[in-house]
């Protein structure tokens, strides 16, 4: 390999090569047309071999595609390698916004939507749900454009790179808005679970941070959408009974300086400066870490949380922090929120690979009764048969992949392991 690349947290060194960095869509097409195997790389915010290739790796960080806002359509078209934090700044300056942001603004658009990465909020579906069109360089180097009415779009957005190299993404936008963020400490678990629905609906976005020990949720972050000038921070109400307001800025991970986090204290600010947990110009999250996440149907939320509390003795020693968020449902075939509202159960691990991998089957077993879908870009233990049973459109996805890439140009070990390519 001529140019070794790792995931952003150093958790995995991508296999494959050479690494090429095309600047135009035409160059991407030439690379794909001339290669036997190809996989694309964005911001490399993954934790395993999702983007490994037995051949060429196409890094999209130098792709020169202009950002184009269409105010009449309410969309923005952006290059695949652009990071959300950079796109958000451009949108806000022009008076526009996305409906949500992930906790990290450092992630690239194409990889984010390809893995169903999400933000938080009862009414906020994941970032993939905003996709209204894709430009894809497919097997053989042909460039295809999928619009909002294309019958293949729902199977092409969250596609894990199996259909080609995405070069442009069109996203729905809305007028810009402000958000105010507040943090509360030590919310009793009894309150959090008894009033879970009321708690998560008490703000535009709500996150619960825990280490799965003790009788209280360590931190609750509430992000309130501010519409209009006459706005005051809402009181805690019964949903925060027993918690206390944070005395100053907090980092969700114990130890790091909270200067890396977006502004708290209920001070209104632009949507892109509050909806993420972390600032674009600082190290994302804890930096050296591993991550896992499972999404369970909303109806199973409190039972799944209780199950995880029951195995806290396994997970807590390995944790930096865990986060609970809500995600509205969508109809994308491989989306972890396909078919209805879900609750996301996230684990940010210490960089202890062997120990974490030993814990993954324990978590999977605890969550098995709740139809838990693992996040595609993070560490998990699930076989192909289990995954197939979690997605009603799985066979449609298999057929689409086989039709668009019959020779396996974009196939790799990850896709074979999860059952999306023949073993």
Q: Tell me: do 251 and 369 sit in the same domain.
A: yes
CATH number, residue 278: 3.30.70.2520
Would 410 be classed as within a structural domain? Answer: no
User: Does residue 400 form part of some domain?
Assistant: no
pLDDT in tens, 366-389: 999 999 999 999 999 999 999 999
* 227 and 81 assigned to the same domain: no
What pLDDT shows up at residue 3? 54
Each as own residue / partner, the long-range contacts of residues 366-370 (CB below 8 Å, 24 or more positions apart, any chain) are 366/307, 366/308, 366/310, 366/311, 367/294, 367/296, 367/304, 367/307, 367/308, 369/300, 369/303, 369/307, 370/296, 370/297, 370/300, 370/303, 370/304, 370/307
pLDDT at 1: 36
Do 103 and 200 share a domain, yes or no? Answer: no
Cβ neighbours around 310 below 10 Å, total: 11
pLDDT in the model for residue 38: 97
What pLDDT does 284 receive?
67
162 assigned to some structural domain: yes
Based on the number of CB atoms within 10 Å of its own CB, is 4 exposed (0-12), middle (13-18) or buried (19 or more)? exposed
Does 334 map to a domain?
yes
Residues 281 and 326 in one domain: yes
Residue 12 located in a structural domain? no
Q: Bridge partners of 133?
A: 170
423 belongs to a structural domain: no
Is 92 among the domain residues? yes
- Digit-by-digit pLDDT tens for the chain (423 residues) are 345 688 877 888 888 889 999 999 999 999 999 999 999 988 888 888 999 999 999 999 999 999 999 999 999 999 999 999 999 999 999 999 999 999 999 899 999 999 999 999 999 999 999 999 999 999 999 999 999 999 999 999 999 999 999 999 999 999 999 999 999 999 999 999 999 999 999 999 999 999 999 999 999 999 999 987 778 888 899 999 999 999 999 999 999 999 999 999 999 999 999 999 999 887 666 668 999 999 999 999 999 999 999 999 999 999 999 999 999 999 999 999 999 999 999 999 999 999 999 999 999 999 999 999 999 999 999 999 999 999 999 999 999 999 999 999 999 999 999 999 998
Domain end: 135, 153, 176, which one? 176
Are 76 and 203 in the same domain? Answer: no
Choosing from 348, 374, 400, the residue where a domain stops is 374
For the stretch 59-75, what's the b/e string if a residue is b when 16 or more beta carbons lie within 10 angstroms of its beta carbon? Answer: bbeebebeeebeeeeeb
| Domain co-membership, 209 together with 302 | yes
Instruction: Say yes or no: 152 and 218 in one domain.
Output: no
Of 129, 157, 176, the position where a domain reaches its end is 176
Residues 197 and 244 in one domain: yes
> Quick one: 154 and 199 in the same domain?
no
Provide the domain count of the chain: 2
How far apart are alpha carbons 415 and 407 in whole angstroms? 14
Same domain for 271 and 199:
yes
Residue 282: give the domain boundaries.
178-374
- Indicate whether 154 and 219 sit together in one domain: no
Mark out the alpha helices in 70-152 (DSSP H runs): 84-93, 109-114
| Cα dihedral value 223, 46, 138, 373, nearest 10 | -70
* CATH, residue 89: 3.30.465.10
Instruction: Indicate whether 36 belongs to any domain.
Output: no
Task: Specify the pTM.
Answer: 0.95
| 218 plus 364 within the same structural domain | yes
């Amino acid at each position: 390999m001529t140019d070794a690349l790792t995931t952003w947290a150093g958790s995995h060194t991508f296999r494959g090569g050479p690494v090429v960095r095309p600047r135009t869509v035409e160059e991407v097409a030439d690379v794909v047309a001339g290669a036997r195997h190809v996989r694309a790389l964005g911001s490399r915010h993954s934790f395993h071999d999702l983007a490994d290739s037995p051949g060429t790796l196409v890094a999209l960080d130098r792709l020169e595609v202009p950002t184009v806002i269409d105010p009449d359509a309410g969309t923005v078209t952006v290059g695949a390698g652009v990071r959300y934090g950079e796109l958000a700044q451009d949108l806000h300056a022009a008076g526009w916004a996305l409906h949500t942001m992930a906790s990290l603004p450092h992630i690239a658009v194409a990889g984010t939507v390809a893995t169903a990465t999400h933000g938080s909020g009862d009414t906020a579906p994941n970032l993939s749900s905003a996709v209204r069109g894709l430009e894809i360089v497919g097997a053989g180097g042909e460039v295809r454009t999928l619009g909002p009415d294309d019958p293949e779009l729902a199977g092409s957005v969250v596609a894990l790179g199996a259909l080609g190299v995405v070069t442009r993404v069109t996203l729905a936008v809305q007028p810009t808005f402000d958000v105010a963020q507040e943090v509360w400490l030590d919310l009793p678990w009894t309150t959090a679970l008894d009033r879970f629905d009321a708690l998560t609906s008490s703000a535009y976005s709500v996150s619960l941070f825990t280490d799965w020990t003790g009788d209280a949720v360590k931190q609750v972050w509430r992000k309130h959408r501010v519409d209009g000038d006459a706005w005051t921070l809402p009181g805690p109400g019964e949903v925060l009974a027993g918690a206390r307001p944070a005395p100053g800025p907090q980092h969700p991970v114990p130890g790091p300086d909270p200067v890396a986090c977006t502004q708290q204290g209920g001070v209104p600010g632009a949507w892109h400066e509050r909806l993420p947990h972390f600032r674009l110009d600082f190290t994302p999250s804890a930096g050296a870490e591993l991550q896992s996440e499972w999404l369970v149907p909303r109806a199973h939320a409190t039972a799944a949380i209780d199950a995880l509390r029951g195995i806290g003795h396994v997970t807590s020693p390995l944790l930096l922090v865990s986060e609970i968020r809500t995600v509205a449902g969508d109809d994308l075939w491989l989306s972890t929120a396909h078919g209805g509202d879900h609750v996301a159960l996230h684990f940010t691990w210490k960089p202890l690979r062997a120990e974490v991998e030993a814990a993954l089957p324990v978590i999977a077993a605890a969550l098995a009764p709740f139809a838990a879908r693992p996040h595609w870009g993070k560490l998990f233990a699930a076989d192909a048969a289990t995954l197939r049973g979690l997605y009603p459109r799985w066979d449609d996805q298999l057929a689409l992949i086989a039709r668009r890439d019959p020779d396996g140009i974009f196939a790799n070990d990850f896709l074979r392991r999860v059952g999306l390519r023949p073993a």
